[in-house]
């Protein structure tokens, strides 16, 4: 009914905006369904490393589509690439974060070139209201291409360093617990046991298969 009160270009703009929103909501629903599938099958996965890497790649591809649908290089969701790169460092090996940084830079390059070569009004599913307007010149490519790509790899390197520090700290704590002769039991605020050493397992009869 709203369309009856507008005319000409306003009516076309209203229809295009509604179509953009529908495409975006359908995409987000598909991502939510994919996460539900991951949650249902994660306990039966044997190759955890491959499973995690597959999720990271899927997240990057989904994020690239989200960035495209919300304005391309000017989208506010471009910053989410950093979250995936950080997750790759903490959940996978060091090379995983570098690969994710490279893929993020590739997707960003494709989006930047696409928006520079084609007018945004001609891009299917892109809402003009999401887009940060910028003239296509040297500043455009530096701001939307060179700076993000460099930042992706910087974050990958720094997050790898953080992951190494955390793994080293975890290894030290594990060795300390294993070599202590006293029984040690660690619980959270709700008194749920989250960690114990061999002496505590022998003393209290905890299941041997528990980590």
Structure tokens of 36?
């539900």
For 43-98, the pLDDT digits (tens) are 787 887 788 888 888 889 999 988 888 878 878 888 899 999 988 888 766 688 88
In contact, 111 and 65? CB cutoff 8 Å: no
In contact, 183 and 164? CB cutoff 8 Å: no
Q: Concatenated DSSP letters for 45-110?
A: -S-HHHHHHHHHHHHHHHHHHHHHHTTGGG-GGGGHHHHHHHHHHHHS-HHHHHHHHHHHHHHHHH
Half-sphere exposure of 21 (CA within 13 A, CB side): 7
For 108-151, the pLDDT digits (tens) are 999 888 888 876 666 666 665 666 667 778 888 888 888 999 99
**pLDDT band, very low/low/confident/very high, at 102 (cuts 50, 70, 90):** very high
């Amino acid at each position: 009914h709203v369309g009856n009160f507008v005319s000409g270009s306003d009516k076309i703009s209203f229809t295009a905006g509604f179509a953009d929103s529908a495409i975006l909501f359908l995409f987000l629903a598909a991502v939510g369904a994919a996460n539900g599938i991951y949650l249902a099958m994660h306990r039966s996965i044997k190759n955890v490393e491959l499973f995690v890497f597959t999720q990271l790649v899927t997240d990057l591809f989904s994020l690239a589509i989200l960035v495209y649908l919300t304005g391309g290089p000017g989208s506010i969701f471009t910053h989410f690439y950093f979250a995936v790169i950080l997750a790759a460092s903490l959940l996978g090996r060091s090379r995983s974060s570098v690969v994710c940084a490279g893929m993020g830079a590739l997707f960003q390059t494709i989006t930047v070139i696409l928006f520079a070569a084609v007018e945004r009004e001609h891009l299917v599913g892109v809402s003009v209201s999401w887009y940060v307007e910028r003239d296509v010149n040297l500043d455009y490519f530096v701001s939307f291409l060179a700076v993000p790509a460099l930042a992706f790899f910087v974050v990958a390197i720094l997050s790898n360093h953080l992951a190494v520090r955390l793994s080293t700290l975890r290894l030290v704590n594990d060795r300390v617990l294993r070599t202590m002769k006293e029984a040690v039991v660690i619980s959270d605020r709700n008194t749920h046991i989250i960690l114990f050493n061999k002496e505590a397992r022998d003393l209290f009869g905890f299941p041997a298969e528990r980590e």
